[in-house]
Amino acid sequence: MSQNPSPNIIFILADDLGWADLGVYGQTDFATPHLDALAAQGVRFTQAYSNSAVCSATRFALITGRYQYHLRGGLEEPLVRTAHKYGLPPEHPTLPSLLRDAGYETALIGKWHLGSLPTFGPLKSGYQHFFGNYGGAIDYFTHKPGVGEAVPRDLYEGEVPVERVGYYTQLLANEASSWIGQRSADKPFFLSLHFTAPHWPWVGPEDEAVSRGLTDLFHYDGGNLQTYGRMVQSLDAAVGQVLQALEQQGLSENTIVVFSSDNGGERFAKTWPFTGQKTELLEGGIRVPTLLRWPARLRPQVSEQVTISMDWLPTLLAAAGVAPDPAYPPDGENILPVLEGQAPVHPRQLYWRYKAQRQRAVRDGDWKYLKINDNEFLFDVALDTLERANLKHQHPEVIERLRAQWLAWSAQFHPITDEVMTHGVTPDIQADRYAPERATRERI
């Protein structure tokens, strides 16, 4: 099909959003009308995964189209205390750099979290405009950074610190809406809109007093379901504002809009019918709500195709008529033929590893192999979404095959060494570090 004119692309990424935190995925405690409408107008995925159960590792995979373990920074999971040393190498081709070189105008508005200045940054990796935070967490009102940042606030325009007043989710929506209206009309654009919502601290748009009273950004003793709901609703409204700006410019028809999350939900998220959460390779830690709208080429549909974060580079490049860099072939897959009905839904082989509890996972067809410490599990995730029925004794040949596949796959990448195991652990992971073991004990 003709690629003339080239589509615009907006990739919207939420932070720690749970599988069922949108109405269209099962949320009943609060409404998400704008994202539900986006789902009705496009593709809603039922088997979409993140490349990791934590933030920066997934972002390495998303921007490169490859397993994050090709790069040393992708092992940190998450990239915190070593962000000055292990980031996204500026020489590595990326989704924005490949689109930029093909004539796209590129921007990142929101969270970067792929290495710190002066060595790393979005302007060094293909984005021509940047407004947002370099680190992993930012307070919603004071814009103070998270652990490991030596700056009074983590808010930048390009590589220059700036000050803004307001709730961060809304600031990002305003910036993105403005950028869409001011872009070069003679060029297609690629906008990465990476929100920090609904990542902690647990602060809603009316909670400025709470924000300014915080002494610990991790906010262990704060938050509740109602505050979390307001955070997600603010995210939903922000997405609606950006989509309205797109409509006002007359660009909706030939603009690809993708919405997803960097990993599964945190403590207040809804993940039913899955168990597990962020930092766990149970389905609740890696299955993410994912939507895609492109009226010019794709009919509204619900897709059962298994997909993962690193698929977006080859998929969006194909939509734009741009080839990947042959020296860095994607590990992800172009799923456009499936969505257009030119190819049937097909099984995938996907792999994960996570240093906490030395977790391993394989998704091969409907089979899932999971290892937590020394405990191994085999699930049919199509039938057993809760991952309760361990079938390893009924199908020993399957678990042996998947175990061998994982070992062969893992041997291709940087190993998770003792040095890696002692870096990048943040208090939120420590707080939840025993959750996989609790889940394990329930099944033994």
49 has which bridge partners? 287, 308
Residue 285 has pLDDT above 50, yes or no: yes
Residue 386 has pLDDT above 80, yes or no: yes
Query: Is residue 3 in some structural domain?
Result: no
pLDDT of residue 425: 46
Does one domain contain both 288 and 372?
no
Query: Is residue 207 in some structural domain?
Result: yes
At 248, list the tokens: 């006002």
Tell me what the mean pLDDT of segment 120-127 comes to.
98
SS3 68: helix
Does one domain contain both 212 and 246?
yes
Does one domain contain both 53 and 161?
yes
Does one domain contain both 101 and 62?
yes
- Apex 280 CA angle, 276 and 281, nearest 5: 95
Give the model confidence (pLDDT) of 412-428 as tens digits: 998 877 666 555 444 34
Give the model confidence (pLDDT) of 213-266 as tens digits: 887 788 878 899 999 999 999 999 999 999 999 999 999 999 999 999 999 999
* Residues involved in catalysis: 55, 113
CB distance 242 to 10 below 8 Å? yes
Query: Is residue 412 in some structural domain?
Result: yes
Query: Is residue 1 in some structural domain?
Result: no
Question: Which CATH number covers residue 353?
Answer: 3.30.1120.10
Does one domain contain both 142 and 243?
yes
pLDDT of residue 49: 98
Rounded to the nearest integer, the mean pLDDT of the chain is 91
pTM of the model: 0.93
CB distance 141 to 203 below 8 Å? yes
What's the Cα-to-Cα distance from 353 to each of 57, 65, 67, 270, 280, rounded to whole Å? 11, 17, 11, 23, 10
Integer Cα distance of 308 and 288 in angstroms: 9
Does one domain contain both 203 and 265?
yes
CB distance 357 to 138 below 8 Å? no
Does one domain contain both 268 and 363?
no
pLDDT band at 150 (very low <50, low <70, confident <90, very high): low
Does one domain contain both 119 and 73?
yes
Count of domains forming the chain: 2
Q: Which of 313, 339, 365 is the last residue of a domain?
A: 339
Residue 429 has pLDDT above 70, yes or no: no
> What region, left, alpha or beta, does residue 71 occupy, with left being phi > 0 and alpha being psi -120 to 50 degrees?
beta
Does one domain contain both 144 and 264?
yes
Does one domain contain both 331 and 388?
no
Does one domain contain both 363 and 292?
no
Amino acid at 161: P
What's the Cα-to-Cα distance from 264 to each of 14, 52, 60, 186, 370, rounded to whole Å? 10, 9, 16, 38, 16
Q: Nearest-CA neighbor of 236 among 15, 29, 35, 10?
A: 35
Query: Is residue 375 in some structural domain?
Result: yes
The range of the structural domain enclosing residue 360 comes to 349-443
Q: Which of 339, 360, 392 is the last residue of a domain?
A: 339
Please give the DSSP secondary-structure letter assigned to residue 71: S
Query: Is residue 46 in some structural domain?
Result: yes
- Residues present in the chain in total: 444
Q: Nearest-CA neighbor of 197 among 426, 428, 425, 18?
A: 18
Query: Is residue 112 in some structural domain?
Result: yes
Q: Which of 320, 339, 358 is the last residue of a domain?
A: 339
Question: Which CATH number covers residue 36?
Answer: 3.40.720.10
Query: Is residue 309 in some structural domain?
Result: yes
Does one domain contain both 95 and 209?
yes
